[in-house]
Amino acid sequence: MQATEARAPAATRELFYNEALNEALRLEMERDQRVIVIGEDIAEHGGAFQVTAGLLDRFGPTRIRQTPISEIGIVGAAVGAALTGLRPVVELMYVDFAGLAMDQIVNQAAQNRFMFGGQARVPMVLRTQGGSGRGNAAQHSKSLEAWFAHVAGLKLVMPSTPADAKGLLASSIRDDDPVIFLEHKLLYRTKGAVPEGEHLVPLGKAEVKREGRDLTIVTWSREVLFALDASAQLASDGIEAEVVDVRTLVPLDKDLILASVRKTHRVLVVHEAIRRGGYGAEVAAMITEEAFDDLDAPPRRLAGLETPIPYAQHLEKSVVPQVDDIVRVAKELVV
């Protein structure tokens, strides 16, 4: 058998998170004429966080569609466009406003493929921004992933790094199902190595961001960065934490999570969203059901407090898990 020549790894360079998203959009629009982008302030302004900057000049107003301030109209137009053969990427300015479009998201985008026996499909990506940390107060700072994870027919992506943001957005645009793509607003100006050219990260594949032996920290979005900082502090005290970034909540990479838990025998699930009804409960329940005999301690959850996000910076930090909180709970699990 003839040996297959190994492919050289793609060259990388440092990009901000929002630049990586912009590059994914540009490359997918160049690759596929069916990809369009629609939303508020995405044209001349380049979007609230500059993710669509420069795309209007490159692709024109037919494919970069500026909309009125009407979330239900924006998402409804995208659903219709997807059903008729386009591959729309929607930008909603904040996830808090998704409630205004939930009928289109839940009853149309998520259900049409099933209700038409597979004859219809909705290849739509809904990008929006969530999370706290910018002093945007209660109506602009929510973490609502549990809403979308509960709806059959939706996929749910929450990347933590620029490389994952680029690779997962490209994969989401190519997917034939509707994808909710949640970006944390404080990740946009984080920087990291991003592969040049085509870069795809498959949906449903978690990643071990740090190897460890003493406990597993399962998390996503901005809390991945906090978990990595916490694991460095724990290592100085002789505790080696493994950090698992789920990357996509739906589909969830159960195999990788379970493999990590079976290695470390302890697990801490961390997320910014409110603890009650949060997606961390789904992860903890899955681990308990499928790896109970491998656990040396009950799974722990560390999550946001049951309160709207305050405006004041010191209060805002106090209601969502910070690095010191992760260190404290991890030590309680191991010691």
Which residues form the catalytic set?
71, 140
First and final CA of the chain: distance in angstroms?
A: 53
* 239 exposure class (CB count in 10 Å sphere: 0-12, 13-18, 19+): buried
Q: How far apart are CA 117 and CA 74, in angstroms?
A: 26
Residues 324 and 229 sit within 8 Å (Cβ to Cβ): no
Q: Which tokens belong to 319?
A: 């209601």
Each as own residue / partner, the long-range contacts of residues 254-258 (CB below 8 Å, 24 or more positions apart, any chain) are: 254/286, 254/290, 256/205, 256/206, 256/207, 256/208, 257/206, 257/216, 257/218, 257/283, 257/286, 257/287, 258/287, 258/290, 258/291
DSSP SS3 for 150: coil
Q: Is 235 helix (H, G, I), strand (E, B) or coil?
A: helix
Measuring CA to CA, which residue among 7, 6, 14, 5 is closest to residue 195? 14
Is residue 333 classed exposed, middle or buried when 0-12, 13-18 and 19+ CB atoms within 10 A define those classes? buried
Question: What is the C-alpha separation between 284 and 299, in angstroms, rounded?
Answer: 6
Element (H, E) at 268: strand 267-274
| CB-based burial label for 249 (10 Å; 0-12, 13-18, 19+) | buried
